[in-house]
């Protein structure tokens, strides 16, 4: 047995250094563009606003201080960051469920119509628009004119039905949800496309067998189709969670994180480029990375499992 395990086919006998030769370019590029910036960010997260001294020097007398972890105290406990965490949680809850459920619904329905390609192209179209463009479009939809004239689509509808106009983007209870709707509008196409491919991968005979067995369409969907595409649904969910944790553009363009709509990535941007506080920005970046890692690990595992099944 031991002998067999040591057996290497001729084609793989390449000497000790040849594999490194193949790996070299990738390793060098990864080191320059990922490893070094990563380690440097970690280092900067323990430094002050411009990296000239350790973070504890920024502690103020009489205020709580976490010493060298001072930037993490800000990243984890400051009120603006707590708002950001809360909002990111909302984004995860509503946008992930919204995009996945809508994507699944549309993919299922589109599978049954003749003009499927057209329907899917339309749903997918927002993906092709830049976030900034989408932000501008939706600013018009949500526009709130202080005078009597409402040029915003939503408020125009509401006032024409006799309702009172709503300031969608500044009203604290609804503005984050309004932003999430934009996110759902943009990302449903992605979920739909991936789920649609999975749905088409379910053999038609299985669904027919279930129908002959006595299942109605509802049962076929929940007891046959969904269980069979569950691995794909899981990957779509984790991919969306990663996307949503990183959400930035929509918030930056539409509210700039004001009126209680702050999210982690936007705060990171503001600390870095508005407040010029690299220490805090680096700490937020590290926190965000740590939060995202489990989702990435899950996705990689899932991917490997699928590869292994082939």
* Helix axes 278-309 and 70-77, enclosed angle (nearest 10): 70
Residue-wise burial string across 285-310, b where 16 or more C-beta atoms lie within 10 A, e elsewhere: bbbbeeebeebeebbeeeeeeeeeee
Taking the alpha carbons of 268, 272, 273, 274 in that order, is the dihedral positive or negative? positive
Conformational region of residue 147, where left means phi above 0, alpha means psi within -120 to 50, and beta covers everything else? beta
CB of 224 to another protein, least distance (A): 6
CB of 222 to another protein, least distance (A): 12
Taking the alpha carbons of 107, 113, 119, 120 in that order, is the dihedral positive or negative? positive
Whose Cβ is closer to another protein: residue 290's or residue 309's?
309
How many residues touch another protein under the rule CB under 8 A: the total is 18
Candidates 26-34, 204-212, 247-255, 297-305; binding stretch for another protein (CB under 8 A): 204-212
CB of 58 to another protein, least distance (A): 55
* Cβ neighbours of residue 284 closer than 8 Å, sequence gap 6 or more: 75, 81, 264, 267, 268, 271
Q: Is 201 in the site for another protein (CB under 8 A)?
A: no
Whose Cβ is closer to another protein: residue 53's or residue 208's?
208
CB of 251 to another protein, least distance (A): 39
Q: Is 180 in the site for another protein (CB under 8 A)?
A: no
User: Which residues from 205-264 bind another protein, rule CB under 8 A?
Assistant: 205-206, 208-216, 219, 223-224, 227-228, 230
Whose Cβ is closer to another protein: residue 121's or residue 206's?
206
Q: Is 53 in the site for another protein (CB under 8 A)?
A: no
CB of 231 to another protein, least distance (A): 10
- Spatial separation of the C-alpha atoms in residues 309 and 128, rounded to whole Å: 33
Write the DSSP assignment of 139-179 as a string of letters: HHHH---SSS---SHHHHHHHHTT-----TTT-TTTHHHHH
CB of 227 to another protein, least distance (A): 4
Interface with another protein (CB under 8 A):
203, 205-206, 208-216, 219, 223-224, 227-228, 230
């Amino acid at each position: 047995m031991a002998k067999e395990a040591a057996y290497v086919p001729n084609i793989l006998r390449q000497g000790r250094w040849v594999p490194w030769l193949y790996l070299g370019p990738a390793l060098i590029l990864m080191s320059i563009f990922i490893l070094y910036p990563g380690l440097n960010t970690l280092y900067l997260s323990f430094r002050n606003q411009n990296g000239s001294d350790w973070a504890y020097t920024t502690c103020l007398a009489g205020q709580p201080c976490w010493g060298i972890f001072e930037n993490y105290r800000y990243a984890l406990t400051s009120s603006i960051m707590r708002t950001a965490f809360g909002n990111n949680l909302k984004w995860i809850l509503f946008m992930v469920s919204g995009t996945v459920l809508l994507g699944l619904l549309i993919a299922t329905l589109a599978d049954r119509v003749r003009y499927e390609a057209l329907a899917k192209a339309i749903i997918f179209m927002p993906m092709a628009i830049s976030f900034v463009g989408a932000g501008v479009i939706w600013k018009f939809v949500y526009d709130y004119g202080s005078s009597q004239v409402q040029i915003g689509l939503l408020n125009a509808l509401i006032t024409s039905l006799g309702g009172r106009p709503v300031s969608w983007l500044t009203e604290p209870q609804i503005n984050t949800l309004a932003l999430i709707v934009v996110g759902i509008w943009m990302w449903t196409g992605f979920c739909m496309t991936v789920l649609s491919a999975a749905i088409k991968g379910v053999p038609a005979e299985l669904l027919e067998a279930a129908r002959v067995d006595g299942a109605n369409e509802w049962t076929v969907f929940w007891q046959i189709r969904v269980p069979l595409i569950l691995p794909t649904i899981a990957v779509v969910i984790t991919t969306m969670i990663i996307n949503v944790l990183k959400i930035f553009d929509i918030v930056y363009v539409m509210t700039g994180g004001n009126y209680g709509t702050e999210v982690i990535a936007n705060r990171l941007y503001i600390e870095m480029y508005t407040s010029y506080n690299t220490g805090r920005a680096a700490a937020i970046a590290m926190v965000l990375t740590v939060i995202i890692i489990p989702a990435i690990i899950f996705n990689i595992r899932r991917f490997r499992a699928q590869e292994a099944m082939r």
